[in-house]
Amino acid sequence: MSVAAPPVRPVTLEDIRAAHDRIRSVITRTPLIRLRHDTAAPEIWLKLENLQPINAFKLRGAANAVALLSPEERERGVWTISAGNAGQGVAFAARELGVACTVVTIETAPETKIERMRKLGANIVKAPFDACWNAMEARAFPGVEGTFVHPFDDHDFIAGNATLGIEILEDLPNVKTIITAIGGGGLITGVGSATKALAPHVRVIGAEPETAAPGALSFEANAPRVFEKWEASFVDGAGGKSIFPRMWERLRDVVDGSLVVSLDEVKAAMRLVAEKTRVISEGAGALGVAAALSGRAGEGPIVAVVSGGNIDLKKFAELIGV
């Protein structure tokens, strides 16, 4: 049975600052480092969310969302839907509070991510991509019980994600553009909400792979759109089949657009980041870097959010051509 979603409301600076205080003891305040790319591309900085305890930004939103659940909601256990990173975030936060956790995961998710969720104590239920995507709209999945924590369309999850924006602006006040991957839209909505509240002149731009770019279509049409030519790729942590209408309502006023990059550009960005900083980024984590390197994001300083680094090392080596 489908569960009604709560009304959409803006994520305020008060919400974000409260979340930052709430999750301070769980997350890592990740560093912002300069990418010495030795090319004609603009000045680029990397916000290294791959250094979170779960190696992805999703811990921020999950920790805030789970912390705000009532005792009764925790007692029922929690569940979420994920290709891996949100599942790890919810499982980590649930384990910290002694709460049972189930993750409905896309059956093509990398085994590396699935094993990490298991080690965090999550019960894994595999399903096809379309079934998972539909369940995110319905907020229900056959046979799975408990309190649902939406991996992106959740006010408290987005407020946790938004803490990233506060940190970037504190560490680099002269930033001109911030780029994040777009998957469901929870990361960019959070970063955009913080940025537009504190520094409305700073541009917030999404980055999507050519195989899954509903955000760019939606900005072009000024309405939520479905990406009809969706294809699975190694960029498994971003790029959905559509922008949910509720997420479009959230992000349209705090995001300035989305850039589409090729899979080859993503691979090149993964390799460059590894060569220059010795940092491992998964495909989704390199989207923002690829967009910045393309020159289409304008002048620097640009901050590219390296959203995660959960990738099998053999696969990583294969992708970057080692």
pLDDT digits (tens, 9 = 90+) for 37-56: 877 779 999 999 999 999 99
Q: Name the band, by pLDDT with cuts 50, 70 and 90, for residue 71.
A: very high
- The pLDDT tens digits of the residues spanning 116-156 come to 999 999 999 999 988 998 898 889 999 999 999 999 999 99
What are the phi and psi torsion angles at 127 (to 5°)? -155, 160
SS3 139: coil
What is the end-to-end Cα distance of the chain in Å, rounded? Answer: 48
Class of CATH domain 13-57+155-320: alpha beta
Beta bridge partners of 226: 242
The arithmetic mean of pLDDT across residues 19-40, rounded, is 93
pLDDT at 85 over 90: no
- Helices 186-198 and 13-23: crossing angle in degrees, nearest 10, is 110
CATH number of 59-148: 3.40.50.1100
Q: Do 13-57+155-320 and 59-148 fold alike per CATH?
A: yes
- Position 234 scores a pLDDT of 93
Which pLDDT belongs to residue 322?
Answer: 59
Rounded-to-integer distance, Cα 214 and Cα 114, Å:
26
Domain boundaries, the chain: 13-57+155-320, 59-148
pLDDT reported for residue 84: 80
pTM: 0.94
